[in-house]
Structure 1
């Protein structure tokens, strides 16, 4: 068989994946038209799912099983990368299903877009239970962000790359020194660090992964996925970004998100000038000692100010309304304003 791609190393951390593991492993080994190795990293599993893999999978010459020395996904990825020989590094979860053309699509996408360092992918959420509305909205939002410009514009709203779809050029993964272990989620940290280094991210069109939602998924049970920690990550990287270099901020929103964002930016020595509100009962007072302006005052207020306006309202539909209002004022997203919620 002639292979159409250089070697792709797929790293799959596994911790008690149970009955999902067979389907996940099989979906990688059945990938179309790619030269691959699958590095399955045992993250101290106790359910024997790895040992119970059927012979047609466990004896596949492309599969190797590695034991991680330390506990956790970050350590497991590091252990897998030490064994990886590929020119490309792909991330895969042990409870998801890669569609047969996942890897070839991502490979061709990177070939067609040499400026992109990390390819993500569009997903379809699958679950035994009805998918919660918030997660369904997240799926739709994720799948709308395909170009590097789209992802960069909305990076500080939420994590824009589903982690089990991540596909890296090896030199990009080396530059980032793999996943790190901050107090917030390691995948969102990876995309924020990539942005800080000027690495572009994008996605090919079309669903490439069935993303399984269940109660024991890390996003549901790992404290690093707490909303406050996500906001802390956003504020940390925003404060060190070109967006706030020698520049003040104005926060749109005086609710819990806006106030917490102010507190974190303040700790990062970023000066906030004012808060913006649409609720007349909140306008005219002070929040954290700063004036609360009505949004209609914003154009005049910012006439002689280069402050970055940061949208920090979590209510559904608020982002679209704020975006519309700011664009009508002549503001440009990414230059004059961005969103952190």
Structure 2
């Protein structure tokens, strides 16, 4: 049931699903949206844990405080993907902004993203840089690229946006019948960016507009295996839209080896692909080579391919591990 339905159309629909996050975290997240300098929005909050009384009581309180809030009470837990789709399908805004129940949006987030989308009609998704807080803070570089081509090259490896930082042009979803793929309980955002990649441009504002909480409750911590499997499925499908079938058949060969890698590199030299995209494809192939091999590792360094990952030392380490660890399975596409 949807409560407090707004009659007037808002420019932005903010969508957030809550489950079992600490109540104080949920409050911080909600307040960070309600306190935005941009005020013309509706805030759709889906309660995906209806048996938790604290959720119901908290949302009831907020409904009385701010008329921009709508609450969807799921009858039972249906998961994040389906919950987000419920919110998207009732959204009245021109744009859809995502928010998570444990993160904090900075005050001018919605205004800056709205202004960008209004001024750049050919862009369909706009994210931002993020800062980290919470458990086990490490030093993270700015992994979110800015340029459309860079972002879509990143999709060969993983998601190119921080999910709770994005604003999406709603018309591209409804006009093309694209929603979160409910076959993916995890990595649903990665799948959405892959599905949207051919319909318009991507952009990341190079300014921190969201504080991203690190905690042991996150999907990547609790369901990492499923997320990795889904990531491989999405990666395979995305690469299949870029490369010809004969090259895809080589990559998917369970006996993928160094000679195959060299063959694919020769093809990439003649393909009309960006250097970053080609480099990312080569990196994925190194991780997919089936036979652990010191020869492959020597080639990685002697050919200069490792220079492509010089700014991401973790990727170099992953190639080394795939080549030398005797029981390590390759990251098959």
How many residues are aligned here? Answer: 278
Which structure has the highest helix share of the two? 2
Whether the 8 Å CA contact 1:25–1:57 is kept in 2: the answer is no
RMSD: 3.6
Q: Please give the secondary structure, in 2, of the residue aligned with 1:52.
A: helix
| Corresponding residue number in structure 2 for 1:201 | 202
| Corresponding residue number in structure 2 for 1:63 | 69
| Corresponding residue number in structure 1 for 2:327 | none
The residue correspondences of 1:11-26 to structure 2 (distance < 5 A) are: 11-18=15-22, 19-26=24-31
Q: CA deviation at 1:113?
A: 1.7
The residue correspondences of 1:297-336 to structure 2 (distance < 5 A) are: 310-312=282-284, 313=286, 322=305, 324=307
The residue correspondences of 1:1-341 to structure 2 (distance < 5 A) are: 7-18=11-22, 19-45=24-50, 46=52, 48-52=54-58, 55=61, 58-69=64-75, 71-127=78-134, 129-132=135-138, 136-137=140-141, 140-142=142-144, 145-174=145-174, 175-183=176-184, 185-195=187-197, 197-223=198-224, 226-239=227-240, 241=241, 243-248=242-247, 270-272=248-250, 288-289=254-255, 292-293=258-259, 310-312=282-284, 313=286, 322=305, 324=307
Q: Using the alignment, how far apart are the partners of 1:300 and 1:21 within structure 2?
A: 48
- The superposition leaves residues 95-123 of structure 1 with CA deviations (integer Å, 9 ceiling, x where unpaired) of 10000101111111112221110111111
Unpaired segments ≥5 residues, structure 2: 1-8, 273-277, 288-296, 310-331
TM-score by length of structure 2 reads 0.72
| Corresponding residue number in structure 1 for 2:317 | none
Q: Using the alignment, how far apart are the partners of 2:268 and 2:164 within structure 1?
A: 44
- The superposition leaves residues 207-251 of structure 1 with CA deviations (integer Å, 9 ceiling, x where unpaired) of 110011100112211356533431222012212x0x223441xxx
Change (3 A) 1:304 1:204: closer
Whether the 8 Å CA contact 2:178–2:195 is kept in 1: the answer is no
Q: Please give the secondary structure, in 2, of the residue aligned with 1:89.
A: strand
Q: Using the alignment, how far apart are the partners of 2:108 and 2:183 within structure 1?
A: 33
Q: Greater shift after overlay, 209-218 or 70-79? A: 70-79
Q: Using the alignment, how far apart are the partners of 1:73 and 1:217 within structure 2?
A: 12
Change (3 A) 1:25 1:305: closer
Unpaired segments ≥5 residues, structure 1: 249-269, 275-286, 327-339
